[in-house]
């Protein structure tokens, strides 16, 4: 039995890719989300590209800020090209917020700033997907 999980969310057909080189962060995010949405842990963007075949494309990518530091903001465009329509959230420490802002300027949809909490992570993913009582992003005028 899953506690605190809405049935409508648990049967949602959308998925999240958690792409982070920090195994602990990946595992924590996967644990926080797996009850409500199909969640996959991946250690590199290249691994995500390989896994994200036609039938397994992500709807949300939680991207570790370390990849933006290594590959630059162009990585956001690469992810968007590989996974059309994907929503990208950058996972970062408070000290890396400037890098996250650069990623948002390049097209990322927001950031998850550590420390990560179950409520904050689920709420942010629900909001970015337009579910769970939040107004869909199209209705808010954030997406066309």
Residue 5 above 90 pLDDT? no
**Strand stretches in 26-141, DSSP E:** 38-42, 60-64, 87-92, 110-113
Is residue 46 included in any domain, yes or no? yes
Residue 53's pLDDT is 82
Instruction: Give every CB contact of residue 1 below 8 A, 6+ residues apart in sequence.
Output: none
The DSSP 8-state label assigned to residue 135 in this structure reads P
In a domain? residue 136: no
In tens, the pLDDT along 18-50 reads 999 999 999 999 999 999 899 999 999 999 999
Show the domain range for 106.
7-129
Does 1 map to a domain? Answer: no
- Contact (CB, 8 A) for 109 and 89: yes
Distance CA 121, CA 27 (A): 13
Q: How many domains does the chain have?
A: 1
- Domain of 20, CATH number, reads 3.40.50.2300
pLDDT digits (tens, 9 = 90+) for 114-144: 999 999 999 999 999 988 654 444 444 444 4
Domain membership of residue 140 (yes or no) is no
Domain presence at residue 111: yes
């Amino acid at each position: 039995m899953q506690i605190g999980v809405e049935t409508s969310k648990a049967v949602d057909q959308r998925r999240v890719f958690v792409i982070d080189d920090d195994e602990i962060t990946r595992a924590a995010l996967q644990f926080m989300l797996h009850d409500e949405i199909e969640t996959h842990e991946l250690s590199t963007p290249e691994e995500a590209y390989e896994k994200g075949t036609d039938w397994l494309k992500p709807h949300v990518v939680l991207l570790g800020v370390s990849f933006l530091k290594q590959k630059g903001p162009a990585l956001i465009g690469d992810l968007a090209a590989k996974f059309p329509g994907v929503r990208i959230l950058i996972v970062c420490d408070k000290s890396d917020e400037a890098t996250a802002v650069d990623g948002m300027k390049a097209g990322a949809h927001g950031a998850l700033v550590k420390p990560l909490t179950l409520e904050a992570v689920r709420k942010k993913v629900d909001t970015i997907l337009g579910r769970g009582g939040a107004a869909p992003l199209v209705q808010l005028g954030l997406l066309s």
